[in-house]
């Protein structure tokens, strides 16, 4: 399924490999003509849902920030993945996801060999793990989380790349932030980082936005922008990339109201995906158990989508408490306290964060839209995007390229173009033109035919039902605007 999506993405211009003519750059992708429209529409729908509200303001902070931001946030110390290298072939793996690259059969063999050579003390540790976890994958992962046991397990494991047994380096922590320098001198004093999340740009502007907008708690700040992570293993097309876009909103609340707002934003955010066409069965929350919470979080959940390779996070929702603002207050020595004039008290607000991946939800919307159907004995591939997300809203076809039909088609095109993305196509059999638009996910196709010449009506064909309706040219614009609302 993923192969089909990747192939369609390239063929139809949704997504291309970055720098493809030079062999590509791992973990980076380019959005083609259809992809850039889809991505823009996703971001626009998010922006409208999140900021066309009384209590949320927008922001666009710069990607490069003062390096102290990342000290305060904990990214310099903690934004790391444990990594191992195969000494034989130099392939690099994330320790915590090594199990994903090993088959079930091999995993069983490795665990059997590992269990044979354990000291009494380690046996007890393993028994404890087995009491908590009954599944093979979970046991494998939990063993790797224990420093001593992981070394023993790695001694029995084969490199997923070259097959060599027990030749891994010890796990090392690898910081995922990309470093660069400001100014002409490449010295430690001039190091800056490409932001690994947009959130920090919001935290450090809390006071600026609050003072300039005169918002009172609870209120939010929303931002869409690029983020960069030097992921050890990029995988699954757009799912884990090194450059991606986030759509984040930080909602500042009175500390005692945190649970109420956390629950409300959870519901709002899952409803957003459903309203844009993702079925409830393909979505779920994955609440983080308390022992797996990030260092800044009191409560957290992921909105997950069922991808062809399994359930995967598309958005994280966190109760970040007063962690971020307290840290920025400490490191900057600038007060981040809010004066609550209802209770005449100053305090640091709590933050409820909704953090969606634009690129990851792009992939979810793309997969969700993909359908193969049989029509009159022929297969059609149709991308059933919600009309609001569809890259092209309407295609216009003169049935033949003569008899005055192209002139009327161009007239309709110029009337619709200021309001929506339109595609004009006069080449080939009309059935083929429909199929091409089905693949692009265009919800409406308008055909100008012989009857148009007599009564100025055209057919409008709906992508999913393939039903056609005759309408007056004069009514077209309003009808389309209403349907795309
Ligand atoms: N500010 C919180 C934060 O950044 P996160 O769970 O690390 O939290 C939030 O990221 C979202 O960003 C994820 O749910 C995912 O959609 C997206 N994301 C994170 N890393 C990504 C990557 N390497 N490639 C694509 N999307 C990513």
Q: How far apart are the first and last CA of the chain?
A: 31
Ligand 1 closest atom vs CA 241: 24
Q: What is the dihedral of CA 414, 418, 419, 421, to 10 degrees?
A: 80
* Predicted pLDDT of residue 100: 87
**Cis amide prior to 218 (ω within 30 degrees):** yes
In sequence order, what are the beta bridge partners of 245? 226
Mutation probe of ligand 1 site: the residue of 97, 313, 327, 362 with most atoms within 8 A of C-beta? 313
Q: Compute, in angstroms, the gap from residue 361 CA to the centroid of ligand 1.
A: 11
Ligand 1 closest atom vs CA 196: 4
Q: Do 232 and 83 meet the contact criterion of CB atoms below 8 Å apart?
A: yes
Q: Compute, in angstroms, the gap from residue 355 CA to the centroid of ligand 1.
A: 7
Sequence-ordered list of residues with C-beta below 8 angstroms from that of 332, at least 6 positions apart, any chain: 68, 72, 204
Q: Compute, in angstroms, the gap from residue 177 CA to the centroid of ligand 1.
A: 13
* Predicted pLDDT of residue 76: 94
Q: Compute, in angstroms, the gap from residue 242 CA to the centroid of ligand 1.
A: 11
The per-residue pLDDT for range 129-183, each reduced to its tens digit, is: 999 888 999 899 999 988 889 999 999 999 999 999 999 999 999 999 999 999 9
Mutation probe of ligand 1 site: the residue of 246, 317, 323, 358 with most atoms within 8 A of C-beta? 246
- Pick from 403, 474, 389, 483: which is nearest to 445 by CA? 483
* Predicted pLDDT of residue 253: 98
In short, whether 250's Cβ falls inside 6 Å of ligand 1 is: no
H helices of 86-216, where? 104-116, 120-132, 136-145, 147-156, 199-203, 206-213
- Pick from 480, 286, 282: which is nearest to 393 by CA? 480
In short, whether 175's Cβ falls inside 6 Å of ligand 1 is: no
**Sign of dihedral through CA atoms 220, 226, 227, 232?**
positive
In short, whether 12's Cβ falls inside 6 Å of ligand 1 is: no
Q: CA distances (Å), 304 to each of 91, 245, 280, 314, in order?
A: 30, 17, 11, 6
**DSSP structural state of residue 100:** G
* Predicted pLDDT of residue 65: 97
* Predicted pLDDT of residue 295: 83
pTM confidence score? 0.90
If one counts every other C-beta atom within 10 angstroms of the C-beta of residue 120, the result is 6
Ligand 1 closest atom vs CA 229: 23
Q: Do 381 and 285 meet the contact criterion of CB atoms below 8 Å apart?
A: no
In short, whether 197's Cβ falls inside 6 Å of ligand 1 is: yes
Sequence-ordered list of residues with C-beta below 8 angstroms from that of 455, at least 6 positions apart, any chain: none
Digits of tens for pLDDT over the chain (485 positions)?
A: 889 999 999 999 999 999 999 999 999 999 999 999 999 999 999 999 999 999 999 999 999 999 999 999 999 998 998 999 999 999 989 898 899 889 999 999 999 999 998 899 999 999 999 998 889 998 999 999 888 899 999 999 999 999 999 999 999 999 999 999 999 999 999 999 999 999 999 999 999 999 999 999 999 999 999 999 999 888 799 999 999 999 999 999 999 999 999 999 999 999 999 999 999 999 999 999 988 888 889 999 999 999 999 999 999 999 999 999 999 999 999 999 999 999 999 999 999 999 999 999 999 999 999 999 998 888 999 999 999 999 999 999 999 999 999 999 999 999 999 999 999 999 999 999 999 999 999 999 999 999 999 999 999 999 999 999 999 999 999 999 999 98
- Pick from 198, 247, 197, 220: which is nearest to 43 by CA? 247
Q: Compute, in angstroms, the gap from residue 313 CA to the centroid of ligand 1.
A: 8
* Predicted pLDDT of residue 36: 98
Ligand 1 closest atom vs CA 355: 9
The per-residue pLDDT for range 48-77, each reduced to its tens digit, is: 999 999 999 999 999 999 999 999 999 999
Ligand 1 closest atom vs CA 315: 14
Q: Compute, in angstroms, the gap from residue 236 CA to the centroid of ligand 1.
A: 14
Ligand 1 closest atom vs CA 248: 1
Give, using CA atoms, the residue closest to atom 9 of ligand 1: 355
* Predicted pLDDT of residue 96: 87
């Amino acid at each position: 399924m993923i192969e089909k999506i990747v192939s369609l993405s390239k063929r139809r211009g949704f997504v291309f490999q970055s720098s493809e003519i030079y062999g590509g750059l791992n973990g980076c992708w380019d959005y083609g003509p259809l992809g850039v429209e889809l991505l823009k529409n996703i971001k626009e729908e998010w922006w409208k849902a999140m900021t066309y509200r009384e209590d949320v303001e927008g922001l666009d902070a710069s990607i490069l920030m003062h390096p102290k931001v990342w000290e305060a946030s904990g990214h310099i110390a903690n934004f790391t993945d444990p990594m191992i290298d195969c000494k034989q072939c130099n392939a690099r793996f994330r320790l915590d996801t090594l199990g994903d690259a090993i088959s079930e059969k091999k995993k069983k063999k490795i665990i059997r060999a590992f269990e044979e050579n354990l000291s009494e003390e380690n046996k007890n540790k393993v028994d404890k793990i087995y009491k908590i976890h009954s599944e093979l994958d979970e046991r494998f992962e939990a063993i790797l989380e224990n420093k001593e046991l992981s070394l023993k397990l790695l001694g029995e494991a084969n490199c997923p790349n070259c097959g060599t047994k027990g030749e891994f380096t010890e796990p090392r922590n690898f910081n995922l932030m990309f470093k660069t320098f400001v100014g002409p001198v490449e010295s430690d004093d001039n190091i800056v980082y490409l932001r690994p999340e947009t959130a920090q740009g919001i935290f450090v502007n809390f006071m600026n936005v609050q003072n300039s907008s005169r918002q009172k708690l609870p209120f939010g700040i929303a931002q869409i922008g690029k983020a960069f992570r030097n992921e050890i293993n990029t995988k699954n097309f757009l799912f884990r990339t090194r450059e991606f876009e986030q759509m984040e909103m930080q909602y500042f609340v009175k500390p005692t109201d945190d649970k109420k707002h956390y629950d409300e934003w959870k519901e709002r955010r899952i409803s957003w995906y459903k309203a844009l066409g993702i079925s409830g069965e393909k979505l779920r929350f994955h609440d983080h158990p308390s022992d797996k919470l990030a260092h800044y979080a009191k409560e957290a959940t992921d909105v997950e989508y069922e991808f062809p390779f399994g359930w995967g996070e598309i958005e994280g929702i966190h109760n970040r408490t007063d962690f971020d603002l307290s840290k920025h207050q400490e490191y900057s020595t600038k007060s981040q306290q809010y004066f609550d004039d209802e209770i005449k008290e100053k305090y640091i607000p709590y933050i409820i964060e909704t953090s969606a991946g634009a690129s990851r939800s792009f992939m979810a919307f793309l997969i969700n839209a993909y359908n193969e159907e049989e029509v009159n004995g022929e297969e059609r591939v149709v991308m059933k995007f919600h009309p609001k997300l569809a890259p092209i809203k309407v295609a216009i076809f003169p049935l033949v390229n003569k008899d005055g039909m192209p002139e009327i088609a161009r007239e309709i095109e110029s009337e619709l173009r200021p309001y929506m993305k339109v595609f004009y196509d006069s080449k080939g059999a009309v059935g083929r033109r429909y199929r091409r638009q089905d693949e692009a996910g265009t919800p409406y196709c308008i055909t100008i035919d012989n009857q148009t010449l007599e009564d100025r009506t055209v057919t409008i064909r709906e992508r999913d039902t393939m039903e056609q309706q005759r309408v007056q040219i004069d009514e077209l614009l309003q009808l389309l605007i209403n349907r795309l609302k």
